[in-house]
A and B are shown apart, each in its own frame.
Chain A
Amino acid sequence: MSSSGYGQKEKVLSRIAANRLQKELTEWQVNPPCGFRHRVTDSLQRWIIEVHGAPNTLYEGEEFHLQVDFPEHYPMEAPQVVFMQIPPLHPHIYSNGHICLDILYDSWSPAMTVSSICISILSMLSSSTVKARPPDDDQYVRNCRNGRSPKETRWWFHDDKV
């Protein structure tokens, strides 16, 4: 069930992955998801995305940064998506930036895109009623201290509504 992939971070993008990402980037430039901005870098394999908390939600006016790393066999394999610096205070977001969201792991599908991931993350933030870390934050973050990817975690998805 786990989807750790084959040492994805070290491998360069396959031709198919690079083609697909080029198409996603073009589509993003024409039609970016509302509340997000792609920071232009010279890397197709790592995207840095600004996230703006939606108006009338707990995160209004706040800005966060997502780091999206694409594996060699994207989109057959899920990208790795984490919050950088200070992640939003949310019951499904750990203080090391890891996000507990099924579509990033077991439920990933090539039918999804970076843009659809962004929309899911914003919707997760917007529906939150409490600004808090997950109850097991300390323990989880301690276990990840060796730099483990969130894709190596065996996630247990409690509730996708919070």
Chain B
Amino acid sequence: MNVTENVTEPGGEQDRPRDDEIQAFHNRIRAADADKLELVGDKEPLSVLEEEYKAGSPVFLAKLLILKQSYGAIRRARGDGNCFFRSFMFSYLEHLLVIQDEAEVARMEKAIEICKKTLIDLGQAEFTFEDYLAIFVEQLHGVIQGKETSTSLETLVERCRDQYVSNCVVMFFRFVTSGEIRRRSEFFEPFIQGMSNMSVVQFCRSCVEPMGEESDHVHIIALSDALGVPVRVVYLDQSGDMNDKPVTVNKHDFIPEGMNTAVDPDVILLYRPGHYDILYRRGNSGNVKHTSLEESNVEHF
């Protein structure tokens, strides 16, 4: 389908908000959102975004049409600066719960042990993160059914909405991310210097470890690598021009080191400037073909 044919709006430069304007808008609604949205929302059909953007830019609407070919639903995370970590938590645990992958639970336990060792080797006192680690492990074990401690999908939603449990898991991921960045500081240094003039350690102290600090590529790469979980980010942004060529939706697969780059991530996040939500493939199949208009961009680290 050639999307440009369906849209008559010329989309000149003046008509479109700039990314910084969108960012300012997001900042304004963020405070208001925080009080009315759950930490993790309900699963909603993707069409809710059409409603949200119907008065908005034609580029967004064109991209939404493309997205709908591959993805059927969205689950929002509260825009409190922790949305990447929170979306990752829910998406990962929900997928495990649905497919009952005990081998993955065992693999994750090993990955967590390595993360713990990394933090201790870096001089992080164990008592500062052990409670958060334990709470994540508890959620991880809960998703496998048939035990007294098993959690249903409803319970998982409740836990991820519970301020205490949810924030503890987010904080554990922040520790893991910081540990991975510092362990591979030579690798991450150029990325960090490209974004700020901070040292790797300063970056972790100011932009990773405090709750509410927003995530960037660096955070996603580090968490995905450290835990060995591939992550797909689909971008719904202003990039591209309606006049130029058919609009494409960019996506980026973060594939952990040593994993086959052809792997299809099960953690899929929708990125809109300044915010991450959870995205679901269409139907039940985990194996939906990508449309040709969805530009693939696999990065291997």
- A residues sitting closer than 8 Å to B (CB atoms) are 16, 19-20, 23-24, 27, 75-76, 102-103, 106-113
Residues from chain B with Cβ under 8 Å of A75 in the complex = 128
**What are 12 of the A-B contact pairs (CB < 8 Å)?**
A23-B127, A27-B127, A75-B128, A107-B210, A109-B174, A109-B205, A110-B128, A111-B129, A111-B178, A111-B205, A111-B209, A112-B209
Cα distance, A103 to B209, chains bound together (Å): 11
Contact B205 A107 (CB under 8 A): yes
When each residue 204-247 of chain B gets 1 if its CB lies under 8 Å from chain A and 0 otherwise, what string results?
Answer: 01100111000000000000000000000000000000000000
Contact A76 B167 (CB under 8 A): yes
Interface assignment of B48: CB less than 8 Å from any CB of chain A = no
Nearest B residue (CB) for A109 = B209
Residues from chain A with Cβ under 8 Å of B124 in the complex = 111
Cα distance, A109 to B171, chains bound together (Å): 9
Cα distance, A111 to B129, chains bound together (Å): 7
* Other 9 A-B pairs with CB < 8 A, given A27-B127, A111-B174: A27-B125, A75-B128, A76-B171, A107-B206, A108-B210, A110-B132, A111-B128, A111-B205, A113-B125
Given A109-B174, A110-B171, A111-B124; A20-B131 close (CB under 8 Å) = yes
Closest 6 CB pairs of A and B: A109-B209, A23-B127, A109-B210, A111-B209, A107-B206, A107-B210
Interface assignment of B84: CB less than 8 Å from any CB of chain A = no
Nearest B residue (CB) for A108 = B210
Cα distance, A24 to B128, chains bound together (Å): 9
Residues from chain B with Cβ under 8 Å of A113 in the complex = 125, 128
Please report the total number of B residues contacting A with Cβ < 8 Å.
18
When each residue 124-161 of chain B gets 1 if its CB lies under 8 Å from chain A and 0 otherwise, what string results?
Answer: 11011101100000000000000000000000000000
Cα distance, A113 to B125, chains bound together (Å): 9
Cα distance, A106 to B206, chains bound together (Å): 9
Partner of B127 from the list A20, A102, A103, A107 (CB cut-off 8 Å) is A20
Cα distance, A111 to B132, chains bound together (Å): 11
Cα distance, A106 to B124, chains bound together (Å): 21
Cα distance, A110 to B119, chains bound together (Å): 14
Residues from chain B with Cβ under 8 Å of A111 in the complex = 124, 128-129, 174-175, 178, 205, 209
Contact B129 A16 (CB under 8 A): no
Cα distance, A86 to B125, chains bound together (Å): 33
Cα distance, A108 to B210, chains bound together (Å): 6
Residues from chain B with Cβ under 8 Å of A20 in the complex = 127, 131
* Distance from A151 Cβ to chain B, minimum over Cβ atoms (Å): 14
Contact A109 B211 (CB under 8 A): yes
Residues from chain A with Cβ under 8 Å of B209 in the complex = 109-112
Cα distance, A27 to B128, chains bound together (Å): 11
When each residue 79-107 of chain B gets 1 if its CB lies under 8 Å from chain A and 0 otherwise, what string results?
Answer: 00000000000000000000000000000
Nearest A residue (CB) for B171 = A110
